């Protein structure tokens, strides 16, 4: 492990030198690629440097023990040595987690997209329930939910909603939510009391940072148009809605929630970057097939991952055979037990793959 850390630290120093070179700065694409690699290495190299500093302090203290010291001073030195050892052990565990493939994006913010699936208006109402569930869970963690776009159906449900989640380790939990969510219940519109099955799809994207990918202005087509919305005094009189198309991938994002074209454009660009990064990550994951085998499910949007059964007051996650009879609590955002089970299953698979 320590040899690997030495190599990573050497590469980090090399990247710092390259990025300081005027020749590399002139090539924007090369610069951004190197900057991304530097950013990915920074957490592990910072921990390694901290570990080395503690190791040096510990060795210096051992030299002190070989000298004749007063009892009180010796006792203080021993206490300091114990603290250093404990810190070193913790850092070593943290370094091992990183080197054994712990998700480097786990601590990132994320963008979540919920869409109604099969089931008509009932599917839209279920999509609204999921949005409420996630909002309440985020609030319990003091994470910030930022709406980025939405459209409703006639029954008061949601056709589609896009929002960002900002907070420590937001992606660590929300990453498990990608896929098809199924609900079994009696719709409010059902006069005969029959149970219907409806679905909603969830996609969770890492919120990209500037160094994650480069989007060239020449690869974008930006169209503006008048937002649709309430009439009267709120009627839009300017072309504030924005549609951005990334030509190389034919990825299209539209945003009209804000009255400002500038704000709509900024939100649309964030969603666009997240979707393009997701495609890049999926391509890389398929190339590294062994890494995909240790994930919980495939993360495919077409994969049915969870069922919410109202008659039995049951929630079942099909990927890990986890069942809870706390349906109401989970829909109120009490998801800690569910996420703990998913995280444990993920760690167990990683340990099996590593062994």
| Three-state DSSP state, 301 | coil
pLDDT tens-digit series, residues 150-190: 888 887 899 999 999 998 888 888 999 999 999 999 987 67
DSSP per position, 71-82 = HHHHHHHHHHHH
Q: How far is CA 188 from CA 122, 157, 349, in A?
A: 8, 12, 41
**Which of 152-166, 256-270, 335-349 is predicted with the least confidence, judged by mean pLDDT?**
256-270
Task: Write the CATH number of the domain with boundaries 217-286.
Answer: 3.30.160.20
Check: CB of residue 344 under 8 Å from CB of residue 90. no
Residue 311 CB-half CA count within 13 A? 9
pTM beyond cutoff 0.85 = no
Residue 297 has pLDDT above 50, yes or no: no
Residue 290 has pLDDT above 80, yes or no: no
Task: Write the CATH number of the domain with boundaries 110-211+294-354.
Answer: 3.30.70.1660
Check: CB of residue 333 under 8 Å from CB of residue 136. yes
- Secondary structure element (H or E) that encloses residue 264, with its range: helix 261-287
**What band does 288 get if pLDDT is binned at 50, 70 and 90?**
very low
Strand spans (E) along the chain:
110-116, 144-152, 158-166, 179-185, 196-206, 220-225, 241-246, 251-255, 304-309, 314-317, 322-324
Q: Which of 84, 310, 92 is nearest to 196 (CA)?
A: 310
pLDDT tens-digit series, residues 184-236: 999 876 767 789 999 999 998 887 765 556 678 888 898 888 766 544 344 44
Average pLDDT value for the chain: 79
Classify the phi-psi angles of 142: left when phi > 0, otherwise alpha if psi is within -120 to 50, otherwise beta: left
Mean pLDDT of 314-318: 96
Residue 15 has pLDDT above 60, yes or no: yes
For the chain, first and last CA: distance in Å? Answer: 16
Residue 323, pLDDT score: 96
Number of other residues whose CB lies within 10 A of the CB of residue 72:
8
Better-scored residue on pLDDT, 43 or 123: 123
- The answer to whether 110-211+294-354 and 217-286 have equal CATH topology is no
Q: How far apart are CA 242 and CA 237, in angstroms?
A: 14
Residue 273, pLDDT score: 83
Mean pLDDT of 47-54: 83
Could you tell me which residues come within 8 angstroms of residue 116 by beta carbon, excluding any fewer than 6 positions away?
A: 123, 124, 126, 127, 153, 157, 158, 159, 160, 200
pLDDT tens-digit series, residues 89-110: 787 877 776 665 555 666 678 8
């Amino acid at each position: 492990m320590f040899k690997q850390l030495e190599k990573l630290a050497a590469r980090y120093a090399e990247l710092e030198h390259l990025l300081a070179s005027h020749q590399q700065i002139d090539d924007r694409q090369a610069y951004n690629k190197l900057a991304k690699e530097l950013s990915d290495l920074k957490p592990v190299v910072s921990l390694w440097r901290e570990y080395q500093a503690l190791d040096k302090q510990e060795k210096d203290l051992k030299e002190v023990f070989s000298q004749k010291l007063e009892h009180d001073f010796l006792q203080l030195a021993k206490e300091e040595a114990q603290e250093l050892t404990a810190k070193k052990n913790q850092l070593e565990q943290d370094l091992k987690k990183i080197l054994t493939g712990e998700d480097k994006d786990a601590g990132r913010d994320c963008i979540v997209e919920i869409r109604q699936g099969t089931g008509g208006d009932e599917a839209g109402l279920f999509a609204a329930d999921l949005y409420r569930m996630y909002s309440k869970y985020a609030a319990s963690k003091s994470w910030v939910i930022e709406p980025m776009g939405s459209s409703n159906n006639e029954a008061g449900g949601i056709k589609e909603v896009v929002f960002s989640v900002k907070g420590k380790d937001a992606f660590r939990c929300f990453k498990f939510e990608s896929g098809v969510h199924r609900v079994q219940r009696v719709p409010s519109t059902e006069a005969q009391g029959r149970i219907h099955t409806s679905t909603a799809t969830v996609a969770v994207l890492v919120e990209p940072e500037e160094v994650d990918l480069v989007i060239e202005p020449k690869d974008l087509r930006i169209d503006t148009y008048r937002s649709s919305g309430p009439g009267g005094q709120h009627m839009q009189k300017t072309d504030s809605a924005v549609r951005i198309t990334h030509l190389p991938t034919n990825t299209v994002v539209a945003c009209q929630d804000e009255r400002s074209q500038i704000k709509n454009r900024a939100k649309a660009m964030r969603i666009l970057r997240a979707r393009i990064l997701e495609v890049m990550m999926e391509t890389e994951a398929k190339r590294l097939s062994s890494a995909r085998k240790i994930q919980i499910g495939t993360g495919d949007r077409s994969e049915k991952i969870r069922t919410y059964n109202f008659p039995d007051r049951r929630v079942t996650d099909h990927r890990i055979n986890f069942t809870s009879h706390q349906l109401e609590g989970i829909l109120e955002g009490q998801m800690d037990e569910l996420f703990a089970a998913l995280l444990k299953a993920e760690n167990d698979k990683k340990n099996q793959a590593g062994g």
